[in-house]
A and B are shown apart, each in its own frame.
Chain A
Amino acid sequence: MEAIDVVKTNYVKELLAKKAREDMRQFMDFRKIGIVTGLMHNAEGSAQVDLGNTRVLCGVKLIVEEPMKDTPNQGNMMVAAELLPLASADYETGPPSPEAIELARVVDRGIRAANSIDLKSLFIEEGKVWSVFIDLYVLNYDGNLFDACTLAAMAALMTTKVPKVEDGEANREDRTQPLKLDSIVTSTTFGKVGGSILLDLDRNEENASDGRITIAIDDANIRAMQKGLRGGFTKDEVEMLLDIAFQKRAELKRALDQAAR
Chain B
Amino acid sequence: MGSSENKPELVINGKRTDGRDFDEMRPFSIKANVLKNADGSCYVEWGNNRILAAVYGPKEVMPRHMMEPDRAIIKCRYAMAPFSSLSDHGRTGPNRRAIEISKVIKEVFENVVVLREYPASEIDIFIEVLQGDGGTRAAGITAAAVALANAGIQMRDLPYAISVGRIGEHIAIDFNMIEDNYSDSDMPMAIAPRNGEILLLQMDGGLDRAQVSKALQMAIDAGKVISKAQSDALREVYGNAAGV
Q: Is the CB of B100 within 8 A of A223?
A: no
Residue tally, chain B, CB below 8 Å to A? 38
Q: Which residues of chain A from 211 to 229 have any CB-CB distance to chain B below 8 Å in the complex?
A: 213, 220-229
Query: Please, could you name 13 A-B residue pairs with CB atoms under 8 Å apart, sorted by A?
Result: A70-B2, A73-B5, A102-B100, A102-B104, A105-B97, A109-B204, A110-B204, A113-B204, A222-B207, A227-B200, A230-B110, A235-B198, A246-B209
CB of A178 closer than 8 Å to a CB of B: no
Most buried by A among B96, B111, B213: B96
Q: Which residues of chain A from 85 to 100 have any CB-CB distance to chain B below 8 Å in the complex?
A: 98-99
Q: Which residues in A have their C-beta under 8 angstroms from that of B158?
A: none
Q: Is the CB of B197 within 8 A of A234?
A: yes
Find B107's partner among A70, A224, A230 (CB 8 Å cutoff). A230
Query: Min CB distance, A162 to chain B, in Å?
Result: 21
Most buried by A among B200, B206, B207: B206
Interface on chain A toward B: helix, strand, loop, or mixed SS? mixed
Query: Min CB distance, A233 to chain B, in Å?
Result: 5
Q: Which residues in B have their C-beta under 8 angstroms from that of A233?
A: 197-198, 201
Would A223 and B104 be within 8 Å (CB), given that A71-B3, A235-B216, A239-B213 are in contact?
A: no
Q: Give Cα distance in the complex from A223 to B5, angstroms.
A: 20
Q: Is the CB of B205 within 8 A of A223?
A: yes
Find A70's partner among B3, B212, B220 (CB 8 Å cutoff). B3
Query: Min CB distance, B125 to chain A, in Å?
Result: 14
CB of B145 closer than 8 Å to a CB of A: no
Q: Is the CB of A232 within 8 A of B111?
A: yes
Query: Min CB distance, A207 to chain B, in Å?
Result: 15
Query: Min CB distance, A195 to chain B, in Å?
Result: 13
Q: Is the CB of B205 within 8 A of A113?
A: yes
Q: CB-defined interface of B67-90 with A at 8 Å, one 1/0 digit per residue?
A: 000000000000000000000000
Q: Which residues in A have their C-beta under 8 angstroms from that of B199?
A: 227, 232
Query: Min CB distance, A150 to chain B, in Å?
Result: 14
Q: Which residue of B lies closest to A243 (CB)?
A: B209
CB of B103 closer than 8 Å to a CB of A: yes
Q: Give Cα distance in the complex from A220 to B2, angstroms.
A: 21
Q: Is the CB of A222 within 8 A of B107?
A: no
Q: Give Cα distance in the complex from A73 to B207, angstroms.
A: 26
Q: Is the CB of A238 within 8 A of B201?
A: yes
Q: Which residue of B lies closest to A231 (CB)?
A: B111
Find B208's partner among A71, A222, A243 (CB 8 Å cutoff). A222
